[in-house]
Amino acid sequence: MLAETLAAIRPADPRAIADARAYQDRLTKPRGSLGALEEVAVRLSGAAGATPPPIPEPAALAIFAADHGVHARNVTPWPQEVTVQMVANFLAGGAVANAFAKQVGATVTVVDIGVAADLPDAPGLVKRKIGYGTDDLSVGPAMTVDQAVQALEAGISVARELVAGGARCLITGDMGIANTTASAALISAFTGRDPVEVTGRGTGIDDETHARKVEVIREALRVNGVNSVMTLPTDALRALAAVGGFEHAALVGFILGGAAARVPLILDGVIAGAAALVAAALDPAALDHCVAGHRSAEVGHTAALEHLGLRPLVDLELRLGEGTGGLLAYPIVCAAVRVMHEVATFDSAGVTEKPV
Ligand SMILES: Cc1cc2ncn([C@H]3O[C@H](COP(=O)(O)O)[C@@H](O)[C@H]3O)c2cc1C
Ligand SMILES: O=C(O)c1cccnc1
């Protein structure tokens, strides 16, 4: 399924991009006056291979939830059971992601990709558990490559099912106590930056915990032999399995699955940023289908965005995850595309253009 998905991903269509740029300049507004929104519309035109691209409605948020063996190294002040408790909270509609999803009209799907407890069936819950949390990435691989591929393929399936159900925009979400540690390890591995430059304070940790978190990441990269920039797709899968989480692997698949279906993806924060680095290493064309929803306050996220060459739409010092930053960006993405559908051209509206 991974090979088939990679084979189906098309890079941005240069002709649609050129058409979209030219069309932006004919709309009744001074050239370039919509700033970064013009680039969003052009990007989605390239991704869809059509000008204008379809309005990306409706949107579906998928929250991939998993636990992490590295939690045992005290890299976060929160108990591990909060992951499962938050899954229940998402399903009951009580999390920030639910409030934002309601605000922007997105559906919420929660995927158990590897939380540390069995969950009862519930509407909105997709059960694709790979394990009861990963192993501790600071003593060996967090998961096997086989498990990473299974999680990735679960992410592809979720993307396909949401698209089959009518979704025309996919938003990435995550839940997993300690997952900013795995994210920073992946970001260090894929950008080549030192762990100290890409390790943030997650849910809010003191200086001592932060210093330990950096050391744990250093150990993880050393023990697993992933301290260099990844170049080959096989290296990328190995690094993902070694220092990632089940939700990272599933998010890689979700991104590839959305890209293969030519449905735009809005990336959330640092967890999605780490997953996008892996997806780009597997196929750089997948990125043509992604928009960076926001910039998280987590430092590693900025490093990931810079490496990916993505410009975040919203920058509000959020550091929550769950898909919250992606959800906030969604109306902006819709507005950028709607301009291409509804705004008159100078010709059609009889508005005089500025003399050249
Ligand atoms: C109540 C609560 C709700 C959350 N929603 C998302 N996260 C976010 O914080 C966690 C990562 O931070 P760290 O690596 O520092 O543990 C992840 O679960 C992420 O989704 C939450 C964290 C908590 C505590
Ligand atoms: O960037 C994020 O999404 C983030 C930051 C801190 C904690 N959890 C998630």
pLDDT tens figures, 39-52 = 999 999 999 999 99
Nearest listed ligand to the Cα of residue 269 = 2
CATH class of 2-53+340-349: mainly alpha
Is pLDDT at 233 greater than 90 in this prediction? no
Average pLDDT over residues 233-255: 96
Lay out the sheet containing 106-114: strands in order across: 125-127, 106-114, 59-66, 169-175, 265-267, 290-292
User: Ligand 2 pocket: which residues have CB below 6 Å?
Assistant: 180, 202-203, 268-271, 296, 298, 301, 319-321
Nearest listed ligand to the Cα of residue 97 = 1
DSSP string, 339-353: HHHHPPBHHHHTPPP
**Is residue 280 within 8 Å of residue 286, measured between CB atoms?**
yes
The H or E element that residue 125 is part of is strand 125-127
- Hey, how many other C-beta atoms are within 10 angstroms of the C-beta on 165? 11
Centre of ligand 2 from the C-alpha of residue 299, in Å = 10
Centre of ligand 1 from the C-alpha of residue 34, in Å = 34
Q: Is the CB of 78 under 6 A from ligand 1?
A: yes
Centre of ligand 2 from the C-alpha of residue 325, in Å = 10
Radius of gyration of the chain (CA): 20
Write down how long the chain is.
Answer: 356
Candidate list 219, 247, 298, 322, residue with the active-site label: 322
Active site residue 322: yes
Centre of ligand 2 from the C-alpha of residue 178, in Å = 10
Q: Residue 229's pLDDT is what?
A: 61
Choose one of 98, 108, 177, 199 to mutate for the ligand 1 pocket test, by most ligand atoms within 8 angstroms of C-beta: 177
Q: Is the CB of 297 under 6 A from ligand 1?
A: no
Span 122-131, pLDDT tens digits: 999 999 999 9
Q: Is the CB of 203 under 6 A from ligand 1?
A: yes
Q: How far apart are CA 90 and CA 332, in angstroms?
A: 24
Centre of ligand 1 from the C-alpha of residue 56, in Å = 28
Q: Which atom of ligand 1 is nearest the CA belonging to 183?
A: 14
Centre of ligand 1 from the C-alpha of residue 176, in Å = 6
**Residues facing 126 on adjacent strands:** 111
**Residues facing 63 on adjacent strands:** 110, 173
The H or E element that residue 101 is part of is helix 96-104
Residue 309: exposed, middle, or buried by beta-carbon count in 10 A (0-12, 13-18, 19+)?
exposed
Q: Which atom of ligand 2 is nearest the CA belonging to 296?
A: 1
Average pLDDT over residues 342-350: 97
Q: Is the CB of 323 under 6 A from ligand 1?
A: no
Whether ipTM > 0.85 holds is yes
Q: How far apart are CA 95 and CA 86, in angstroms?
A: 8
Span 263-310, pLDDT tens digits: 999 999 999 999 999 999 999 999 999 999 999 999 999 999 999 999
Is pLDDT at 228 greater than 70 in this prediction? no
Domain boundaries, the chain: 2-53+340-349, 59-333
Average pLDDT over residues 326-342: 98
Task: Give the model's confidence band at 234: pLDDT under 50 very low, under 70 low, under 90 confident, else very high.
Answer: confident
Label the pairing between strands 169-175 and 125-127.
Answer: unpaired
Task: Give the model's confidence band at 356: pLDDT under 50 very low, under 70 low, under 90 confident, else very high.
Answer: confident
Q: Residue 38's pLDDT is what?
A: 98
CATH topology of domain 59-333: Rossmann fold (3.40.50)
Average pLDDT over residues 92-102: 99
Choose one of 294, 296, 316 to mutate for the ligand 2 pocket test, by most ligand atoms within 8 angstroms of C-beta: 296
